Structure 1
């Protein structure tokens, strides 16, 4: 179950495809969470902000005594997997209702670009312990074989490019333009790796917000424009191919003014 802290007004690009989002999104590497836990002051409490379907929260449950997982979307919350260590709460990133100075680690997976960052970072400073860690990561296009990559790049840039929300530009530049008011930590590089069939890849592409917006405006599925070429390049659609997503991670430590 989940608790509702507030009824929220927010930019919602994923609730309509929440079921698909849970089924088709890639999983984050366990090494990422192991590393973040190793640099946090303790493993008592983590806040997974904008948890979506709860993927990162479930990974954190291997390392933390308690996880507070918040999301502004009630629809997304209905698709989370319950866990005894996780408290799911409907709340915006900017108004979490979490206790002051209580959190060891804040994680934001593929979501920081949707936030009012100035307000959110103030909220993060409020809830973090001294020396607490905040970590946000993002990923862009997946990579396979060159022929498939070129089809996906064309689809992204020339077919659905104009339908991405403006915030997508922050993902494209790897969060470089976001002012991050924490003491930076030089973190290792991480990537997601999985093996998917062609139907799974198409299901994943269906979760893209630009695909959904294209469908709403044009009453057509833009995936139809690349399905034939993608099928020819893939071969047997049931063959699973290795897919990589390099992660861009920004992480920092919160230092209070207290001695």
Structure 2
């Protein structure tokens, strides 16, 4: 018998919700996109289990990267995000479907899932729902009920997330760099973690699935569920093998606990006392300690990930 999870008080994510368009554009620049292999795997999981290619909804679409990557395979595409700033950034970049129809971007929560829009997202009108690094912010009780409403029989919910950015063992002094930054995170950044951040760190081990709810959503049976883990080197993210320290700063600056840390320490932003800048200096020092010349420091990330596939009957 599937384990059930009682409902807990839901607290909506506030950091990304408050982003303006400039912050959303910085987020888009700072975050590496997903690799073509990941997008191909998402489509294969969907179509090989009977999913059709008429309409896709990308939830927590942010600046629209995932919607733009997958829309060409569908006739209609919708990107939903509760942050007006994110939606403005997505609209600015546009994107089209396989029929040259523009992607529709709307301010809307995953829990509502288009019910309040005009025109609304109709019942049994959607083939695929995706959520990239976003499902950990959803009220899963409400989300699964809404997903059952809009998905066609045979449709798919496919969500994915990365774990933490780790340093590749091939980097000079990698073990010491990892230990140093782990200690900084545990002592300084951890107080700014919220439950969603913990879910990401576990690669969605605790994400509530529809058969685990106190009142299971019967349209999503456990049979057919797929959990696919992506390990280092399996092309989860589309990124260069090595990046410079400026790029490192831009990536780490998009992490929500860092945003919250900076909100609590506004006087440090842009100074050498900023958390991200101190992380950078620690890396540079340890790379130089290992013989890397000053000004030539680069990092190599070790990215992992997980993809969860849930089918509607």
Settle same-fold status: TM greater than 0.5.
yes
Report the alpha carbon displacement of residue 47 of structure 1 after superposing the two structures with TM.
Answer: 0.7
Equivalence for 1:158: 187
Aligned with residue 89 of structure 1, among 81, 99, 106: 106
1:206 aligns with 2:206: no
Equivalence for 1:253: 311
User: Where do 1:1-259 residues align within 5 Å?
Assistant: 10-14=12-16, 15=19, 17-40=23-46, 41-80=51-90, 81-85=93-97, 86-97=103-114, 98-144=121-167, 145=171, 146=174, 147-181=176-210, 182=220, 183=222, 184-187=225-228, 189=230, 191-195=236-240, 196-219=243-266, 220=268, 221-234=274-287, 235=292, 237=295, 241-255=299-313
Do the aligned residues in 1 keep the contact of 2:30 with 2:251 (CA within 8 Å)? Answer: yes
Equivalence for 1:6: none
Do the aligned residues in 2 keep the contact of 1:22 with 1:53 (CA within 8 Å)? Answer: yes
Report the alpha carbon displacement of residue 212 of structure 1 after superposing the two structures with TM.
Answer: 1.6
Report the alpha carbon displacement of residue 19 of structure 1 after superposing the two structures with TM.
Answer: 2.5
1-structure distance, mates of 2:44, 2:28: 28
Do the aligned residues in 1 keep the contact of 2:253 with 2:259 (CA within 8 Å)? Answer: yes
Do the aligned residues in 2 keep the contact of 1:192 with 1:244 (CA within 8 Å)? Answer: no
2-structure distance, mates of 1:82, 1:252: 28
Per the normalisation by structure 1, the TM-score is 0.86
Structural RMSD (CA):
2.2
Structure 2 unmatched runs, 5+ = 1-10, 98-102, 115-120, 211-219, 269-273
SS at match of 2:191: helix
Flag the 1:93–1:19 CA change in 2: closer, same or farther, 3 A. Answer: same
Do the aligned residues in 1 keep the contact of 2:158 with 2:308 (CA within 8 Å)? Answer: yes
Report the alpha carbon displacement of residue 240 of structure 1 after superposing the two structures with TM.
Answer: 5.4
Report the alpha carbon displacement of residue 100 of structure 1 after superposing the two structures with TM.
Answer: 0.9
Do the aligned residues in 1 keep the contact of 2:227 with 2:306 (CA within 8 Å)? Answer: no
Do the aligned residues in 1 keep the contact of 2:163 with 2:202 (CA within 8 Å)? Answer: no
Report the alpha carbon displacement of residue 117 of structure 1 after superposing the two structures with TM.
Answer: 0.6
SS at match of 1:158: helix
Do the aligned residues in 2 keep the contact of 1:37 with 1:43 (CA within 8 Å)? Answer: no
1-structure distance, mates of 2:15, 2:278: 22
SS at match of 1:167: helix
Do the aligned residues in 1 keep the contact of 2:132 with 2:161 (CA within 8 Å)? Answer: yes
2-structure distance, mates of 1:237, 1:46: 45
2-structure distance, mates of 1:72, 1:246: 27
2-structure distance, mates of 1:43, 1:155: 46
Whichever structure has more strand as a proportion of its residues is: 1
